[in-house]
């Protein structure tokens, strides 16, 4: 790659800040340049990005709440977009990007596979993206990698596949505070039941990963079963962000299975809780040959999500315009790393 | 995928026969059709493919040694090409495919990354492929997956990478006879030394995988070190294809490391020997986050190579014409599997 990719960071919450930090670090390779930063928070707007990120040297990038202006004036190629999990909340933001001719790599979980949950929005977004010659893609560690890209990749060396099981066990105690709250760490089982009843609790993106795997294999599912249960603490656990006493909720156990004719074909099983023992990612393929893949210790989510977003930046420049998924991307790879900066 | 892909099997050695068998099986899904079979062996030519494969029902596909005729008349989209490991031996075959407008997925190890070992041939092949609007790509389990695709994929969730180590331990005793002979099972250490001195012994494709990983990460290597040593049997071992007595050669230990400024950046370490304990594939990434990925039991090579070839068939239809590598392909996935045929 010889041309420098111009990137705007769209959204400066914890994930967006971390992405901006990584993009600034990667500038040293000469392969990428951060050219704008957008956030609607009036407390952030107007500041140099360095102030928000606690960097010593000013970046020259002023955080702006005027997305349209930044997208138009920065001459950006790609926006790394990290504002919300839900498609209805980001649709207007994506349209702004398209109209400015800016590709979007987004952490919006529902964007990873929006065609079933939001068919009309998906069609509209696809049309706009094509019209303006840009790509929209949703990715991250999960959805985006652990339970879809890695699963499909594992099937790539199988002549036949009859059943897929992916498990991910995350020690939420090692993750950032918002994630611990997201999984209900420290609440009572009763409070968990109430949250669950709202229908917006649990991991967002599990169904999206399931649908990505099914479509990637040309498999038709005729039934999907989803369960969401609390993981209860069997001991008192304290983390920098939460305290969980025995019997309280430590996190979630969220699982989904896709069936055809009552045969379970794909199961994704996710446990995210503080104090998890043996965190790991596993993909088990029953097939020819069978595959038993384990990422020991697990893929550390906070960093991996940022990596998945940033590493997708050069890949979407090679992807056909439209609303795309990880299935349409070239094989993943780290982007703009500089091993020699660290090898002394 | 709605259109049926028309495939020619080019080469009917052990790998080609197995690929043909898999393609015939996959016809049941309606996604693919085997439309021709090519082999230069006069003992095979003229027979129905079913005879060679010991199938009960005739396939209607007559094995032909006239590649040009089959490629022109079969109206094929893709050739699954399995004739030789070496580029100079397959170049004419690839040209025939291009001239007939047929894409090529090939098991030719040197084709996986031919730009360094055969720069002039690579340039010529790339030009011809573009001229005729077809894709050439070399793949398989190794090179093609275990030590390149899987390695690059693992880095896809890293913001930074400083060092990569991939190991593959294969129990050659479980593999087909030619592979056991290829790794020298049963010969003396002296015979091993003689074979090694010819320069054509050892695993073909290790250097190709190393170069694929380096290029995928935009890493420049300034030195490559390669070692090839015998694995000696520490006990008597009998397989259906070879007998190895204590002290004789059980197989190979082939390793390669790419350096920059004397720092080892990428190491690929391959052991293929009869009686191997703990066969597995492992990818270890030193980076942020670190990744420690293991395929327990290993990826079974004979089947996986066929899978990698056949599963690439639909992917190259979505790839830009030219001489391509796995880096240019969409993420791998199993093609035309039919889980319900097996789920009773």
CB–CB contact A311 B156 (8 Å) = yes
Arithmetic mean of pLDDT, B164-182 = 90
Per-residue 3-state assignment (H helix, E strand, C coil) for chain A: CCCCEEEEEECCCHHHHHHHHHHHHHHHHCCEEEEEEECCCCCCCCCEHHHHHCCCCCCCCECECCHHHHHHHCCCCEEEECCCCCHHHHHHHHHHHHHCCCEEEECCHHHHCCCCCCHHHHHHHHHHHHHCCCEEEECCCCCCCCCCHHHHHHHCCCCEEEEEEEEEEEEHHHCCHHHHHHCCCCCCHHHHHHHHHCCCCCCCCHHHHHHHHHHHCCCCCCEEEEEEEEEECCCCEECCCCEECCCCEEEEEEEEEEEECCEEEEEEEEEEECCCCCCEEEEEEEEECCEEEEEECCCCHHHHHHHHHHHHHHHHCCCCCEEECHHHCECCCCCCCCHHHHCC
For the cut 90, the answer to whether the pLDDT of residue A314 exceeds it is yes
pLDDT reported for residue A177:
79
Tokens of B313: 């068939």
Q: What is the mean pLDDT of residues B284-289?
A: 97
pLDDT of A137: 98
Interface check for A30 against chain B (CB to CB < 8 A): the answer is no
Does A328 reach chain B within 8 Å, measured CB to CB?
yes
pLDDT at B131 over 70: yes
Mean residue pLDDT of chain B comes to 95
Asked whether residue B184 carries a pLDDT value surpassing 50, the answer given is yes
pLDDT for residue A344 is more than 60: no
Average pLDDT for A59-64: 98
Mean pLDDT on A121-144: 98
User: Residues A44-47: contacts with CB within 8 Å, 24+ apart?
Assistant: A44/A12
Span A33-49, average pLDDT:
97
Using the beta-carbon criterion (under 8 Å), do B336 and A218 form an inter-chain contact?
yes
The answer to whether the pTM exceeds 0.90 is yes
pLDDT, tens digit (0-9, with 9 covering 90-100), for A154-190: 999 999 999 999 999 999 988 877 888 889 999 999 9
pLDDT of residue A342: 53
The distance in angstroms from the start CA to the end CA of chain B is: 26
Could you give the percent of chain B with pLDDT greater than 70? 98
A149-298: CATH architecture: 2-Layer Sandwich (3.30)
- What would the pLDDT profile of B45-72 be if each residue is shown by its tens digit? 999 999 999 999 999 999 999 999 999 9
Examine the pLDDT at B283 and tell me if it is beyond 70. yes
Minimal Cβ distance to B296: which of A294, A307, A335: A294
Run of H or E residues at B127? helix B119-131
Nearest to A340 among B263, B291, B296 (CB): B263
Q: How confident is the model at residue A343 (pLDDT cuts 50, 70, 90)?
A: very low
Q: Does A153 touch chain B (CB under 8 A)?
A: yes
Give the gap in angstroms from C-alpha B160 to the nearest C-alpha of chain A: 5
What residue in A sits closest to B264 (Cα-Cα)? A343
Whether A172 and A274 have beta carbons less than 8 Å apart is answered as yes
Interface pTM, i.e. ipTM: 0.97
- Three-state DSSP at B221 gives coil
Cβ-Cβ contacts under 8 Å, B292 against chain A? 295-297
| Residue B302: per-residue pLDDT | 86
Structure confidence at residue B341 as a pLDDT band (50, 70, 90)? low
Measured between CB atoms, which of B152, B295, B336 is closest to A293? B295
* pLDDT of amino acid A15: 95
Inter-chain CB proximity A162 and B294 less than 8 Å:
no
Question: What is the pLDDT averaged over residues B275-288?
Answer: 96
Q: Contact A281/A273 with Cβ under 8 angstroms?
A: no
The pLDDT value recorded for residue A200 is 83
pLDDT tens readout for residues A202-214: 899 999 999 999 9
In total, the C-beta contacts within 8 angstroms joining chain A to chain B are 225
Instruction: Establish if B209 touches chain A: CB-CB under 8 angstroms.
Output: no
Q: Is B157 in contact with A141 (Cβ distance < 8 A)?
A: yes
Fold equal for A5-140+303-342 and A149-298: no
Does A319 contact chain B (CB < 8 Å)? no
Give the nearest partner residue to B326 out of A1, A303, A331, using CB atoms.
Answer: A331
| Token couple for B153 | 């994929």
Cβ(B204)–Cβ(B85) below 8 Å: yes
What pLDDT score does B68 carry? 97
Q: Does B293 touch chain A (CB under 8 A)?
A: yes
Nearest to B310 by CA among B47, B116, B92, B29: B29
Kindly report, residue by residue over B218-260, the tens digit of the pLDDT. Answer: 999 999 999 999 999 999 999 888 889 999 999 999 999 999 9
Ranges of each domain in chain B? 5-140+303-342, 149-298
For the cut 70, the answer to whether the pLDDT of residue A341 exceeds it is no
Whether pLDDT at B1 is above 50: no
Cβ proximity of B77 and B6 under 8 Å: yes
| Residues A320-332 pLDDT 10s | 999 999 999 999 9
pLDDT digits (tens, 9 = 90+) for A278-287: 999 999 999 9
Is the confidence at residue A127, as pLDDT, over 50?
yes
Question: Model confidence at A273, in pLDDT bands (50, 70, 90)?
Answer: very high
Spatial separation of the C-alpha atoms in residues A79 and A94, rounded to whole Å: 9
CATH (residue range B5-140+303-342): 3.40.50.720
pLDDT value of residue B181: 87
């Amino acid at each position: 790659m010889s041309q420098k990719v111009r990137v705007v960071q769209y959204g400066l919450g914890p994930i967006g800040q971390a992405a901006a930090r990584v993009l600034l670090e990667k500038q040293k390779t000469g392969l990428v340049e951060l050219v704008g930063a957008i956030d609607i928070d009036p407390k952030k707007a107007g500041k140099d990005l360095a102030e928000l990120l606690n960097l010593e040297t000013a970046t020259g990038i002023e955080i702006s709440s005027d997305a349209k202006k930044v997208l138009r004036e920065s001459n950006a190629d790609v926006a790394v977009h990290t504002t919300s999990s839900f498609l209805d909340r980001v649709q207007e933001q994506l349209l702004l990007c398209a109209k400015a001719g800016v590709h979007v790599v987004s952490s919006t979980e529902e964007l990873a596979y929006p065609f079933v949950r939001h068919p009309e929005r998906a069609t509209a977004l696809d049309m706009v993206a094509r019209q303006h010659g840009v790509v929209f893609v949703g990715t991250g560690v999960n959805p985006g990698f652990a339970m879809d890209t890695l699963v499909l990749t594992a099937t790539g060396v199988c002549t036949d596949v009859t059943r897929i099981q992916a498990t991910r066990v995350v020690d939420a105690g090692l993750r950032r505070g918002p994630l611990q709250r997201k999984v209900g760490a420290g609440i009572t089982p009763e409070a968990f039941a109430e949250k669950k009843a709202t229908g917006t609790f649990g991991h967002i993106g599990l169904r999206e990963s399931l649908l990505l795997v099914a479509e990637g294999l040309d498999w038709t599912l005729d039934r999907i079963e989803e369960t969401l249960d609390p993981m209860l603490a069997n001991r008192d656990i304290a983390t920098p962000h939460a305290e969980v006493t025995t019997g309280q909720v430590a996190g979630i156990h969220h699982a989904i299975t896709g069936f055809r004719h009552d045969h379970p074909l794909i199961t994704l099983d996710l446990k995210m809780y503080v104090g998890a023992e043996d965190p790991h990612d596993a993909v088990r393929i029953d097939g020819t040959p069978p595959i038993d893949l384990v990422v020991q210790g697990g893929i550390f989510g906070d960093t991996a999500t940022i990596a998945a977003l940033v590493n997708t930046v050069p890949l979407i420049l090679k992807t056909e315009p439209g609303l795309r998924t990880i299935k349409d991307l070239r094989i993943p790879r780290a982007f703009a790393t500089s091993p020699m900066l660290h090898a002394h």
